Amino acid sequence: MRSLLLRIFVSFWSIIVVTIIAAAMLGYFYAERVRETLQSFEVSDAMLGASASLRESGREGLTDWLRSLPDVTASLVYVLDERGQDLLGRKIPPPVALAVRRFGGPQLRPPPNRDAGNLRPARPFTQLVGPDNDVYTLFVLPPQGAVGRWLSERGGLGLAIIALLVSAAISYLLARAISRPIRQFRESAVAIAGGNLDTRVADRVGSRRDEIGLLAQDFDRMTGELQHAWLRQTELTRNVSHELRSPLARLRVALELARRKTGDLTELDKIDTETERLDELIGQILEYSRLDAGPPEDRARIDLQELIGSVAEDVRYEYGQAGGDTGIEFEADANGMVNGYPNALRSGVENVLRNAMQHNREGGKVDVRLGAEGSQLVVTIEDQGGGVAEHELDSIFEPFYRAKARQAGETVRGSGLGLAIASRAISLNDGALTARNTEHGLCVEIRLPSAG
């Protein structure tokens, strides 16, 4: 069906119709079988034997006759006295008990038109009259299988259970048809929110032609537009960054020529410093764009302790603190391997470490520790720079976000790209990056799945 409204309507309508038809058919065929069985039994030798037993020996004779019937037949024949009790003391099926309450007793029907002794083969039940004028009502059930006996024992409750099962099955199919695509929409929305713009819903929903199928097509069209806009933005950022590097390179050449002609001037040093910062910023933009576009390399097994040690040495050298009393202290409590992208992982660790060095107090140390927790390797990098405001701890990993210092309330230094690059790089390696304030400063934690 092409309409979800029509599908829901037809489903509920089908539940009602199927239940009514099933109940009517069961009642009709069961009544017919009872009638046919009763007709054949009334004129049988067994029935004549029951009449003779009652006439000759009274209630005890009729009870003996009932007990002498074959097991299969006896389980289908009930003889009830005027109080509605079976002569063998068996539990009476609900349909029989209801019928006897309505139609049983001595006044069941008018006397027969012809003399038949003590046998009354009339409708709806056959009756036998004993020597003391006690009336015994005979009820015969048709041969039943397991399902028939189950229904007979439960009466209307059995039909209600069948109707409940049929309606529950149809309702389940309807609920599943509605909830399954909704769950698929939710999973796709979560994937898109996580940055996977290649996610599509129509492929999972299938070739539905109803409102859900149309919604899936519109959802995919929206996702495609978002992906196209994101690609254009990324390409624009990359192109602008590349274009800025060319005049920046020429500016540095011109700056060097000016310095040769005029000597070292404070103004030229200032220009040189700002040029280096601009060059670094452009490099960070290009690196973030590259990581945001996906992994540019193949996965490999990486010795995390060796990688962190190499990064720490490079950063020490850059900050001119190699062999000094202050700087980076690296301690490894575990030595593990990870499966990841080496260059991206190195970039992530390096940017976190550079961020710690940049915001560390003068003379302070940056503690780097490598440990293991279960199936994960944990890297903590803690500085002594005072930390950031608590409400900004989650925002510092966003591009170009510059947090306020926790104590002074001043905007911290930097372009706001270092931790964003680190977050993206760690995410590419199936890891997680979090930050928290400590007594001395900011602690950034990197968690990566261990490869043994």
Residue 437: closest CA among 445, 429, 446: 445
Domain count, the chain: 3
Distance CA 252, CA 245 (A): 10
CATH number, domain with residue 391: 3.30.565.10
pLDDT tens digits, 249-304: 777 777 777 777 776 667 667 777 777 777 777 777 777 777 766 666 788 999 99
Q: How much is the average pLDDT of 179-196?
A: 82
Instruction: Answer whether 442's CB lies under 8 Å from 435's CB.
Output: yes
**Whole-number percent of the chain with pLDDT over 70:** 72
In the prediction, which pLDDT does 322 show?
45
- Its pTM stands at 0.50
The pLDDT tens digits of the residues spanning 78-135 come to: 888 878 788 888 877 766 676 666 665 544 444 444 444 555 555 566 778 888 888 8
Q: Which of 160, 187, 220 is the last residue of a domain?
A: 160
Tokens linked to 274 = 């700002």
Token pair, residue 206, equals 């299938």
Instruction: Indicate which CATH number applies to the domain containing 234.
Output: 1.10.287.130
Structural domain includes residue 167? no
Q: Do residue 28 and residue 59 come from a single domain?
A: yes
> What range defines the domain where residue 250 resides?
195-293
In whole angstroms, give the CA distance from residue 322 to residue 338. 28
List the structure tokens of 425.
């790089």
In this structure, are 316 and 375 located in the same domain? yes
Whether 211 is covered by a domain: the verdict is yes
175, part of any domain: no
Both 273 and 327 in one domain: the answer is: no
Least confident of 123-132, 175-184, 386-395, 408-417: 408-417
Instruction: Report the DSSP beta bridge partners of residue 442.
Output: 437
Q: Which of 135, 160, 185 is the last residue of a domain?
A: 160
Burial class (CB within 10 angstroms; exposed 0-12, middle 13-18, buried 19+) of 376: middle
Distance CA 414, CA 402 (A): 7
